[in-house]
C-alpha cells in the first residue's frame, strides 16, 4: 500500500525497527519506570526484540524456527543502540553547543 508510514519490510530494516523502538520506549518508559523499575536500556532491548520478532512473523517466518529467536535477540541490541542514538540526537541536535559558557566566549 502506498502512503504508509511503516511497512513490514521497513520494520525489518534497521532504520524502521529503530524508529519504532524509539517511539514505543519514549511513550511508555514513564509507566515502565513507575511500575516495573526496569532500566530504560534494558527495556529498549525487550521492545526491539518484540518489534523484530513480530516483523519476522508478519513476513512469513515460521514460529517453530528457533534461529529466528536467537537472531532477533542479537539484532535487538543493535536496534536498541540505534534507538538510543535517535534519542540522543533528539535531545542534543547536531550543531547545538554542549556547554552554554562557550556561546559567551566567542
Segment 10-38 shows an average pLDDT of: 91
Give 7-22 pLDDT, tens digit per residue.
Answer: 888 888 898 999 999 9
Question: For the chain, what percent of residues have pLDDT higher than 70?
Answer: 87
Residue 67: pLDDT above 50? Answer: yes
Does the pTM of the predicted model rise above 0.85? no
Residue 78: pLDDT above 90? Answer: yes
Which has more confidence, 69 or 1?
A: 69
Segment 1-9 shows an average pLDDT of: 72
Q: Find the distance separating the first CA and the last CA of the chain, reported in whole Å.
A: 52
Q: Report the pLDDT value the prediction gives residue 106, as an integer from 0 to 100.
A: 47
Segment 40-59 shows an average pLDDT of: 95
Going by C-alpha positions, the residue among 14, 16, 69, 81 that lies closest to residue 42 is 81
Amino acid at each position: 500500500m502506498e502512503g504508509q508510514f511503516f511497512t513490514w519490510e521497513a520494520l525489518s530494516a534497521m532504520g524502521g525497527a529503530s524508529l519504532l523502538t524509539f517511539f514505543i520506549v519514549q511513550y511508555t518508559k514513564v509507566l515502565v519506570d513507575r511500575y516495573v523499575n526496569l532500566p530504560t536500556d534494558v527495556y529498549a532491548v525487550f521492545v526491539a526484540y518484540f518489534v523484530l520478532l513480530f516483523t519476522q512473523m508478519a513476513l512469513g517466518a515460521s514460529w517453530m524456527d528457533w534461529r529466528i529467536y536467537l537472531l532477533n535477540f542479537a539484532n535487538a541490541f543493535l536496534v536498541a543502540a540505534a534507538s538510543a542514538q535517535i534519542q540522543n540526537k533528539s535531545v542534543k541536535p547536531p550543531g547545538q553547543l554542549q556547554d552554554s559558557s562557550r556561546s559567551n566566549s566567542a
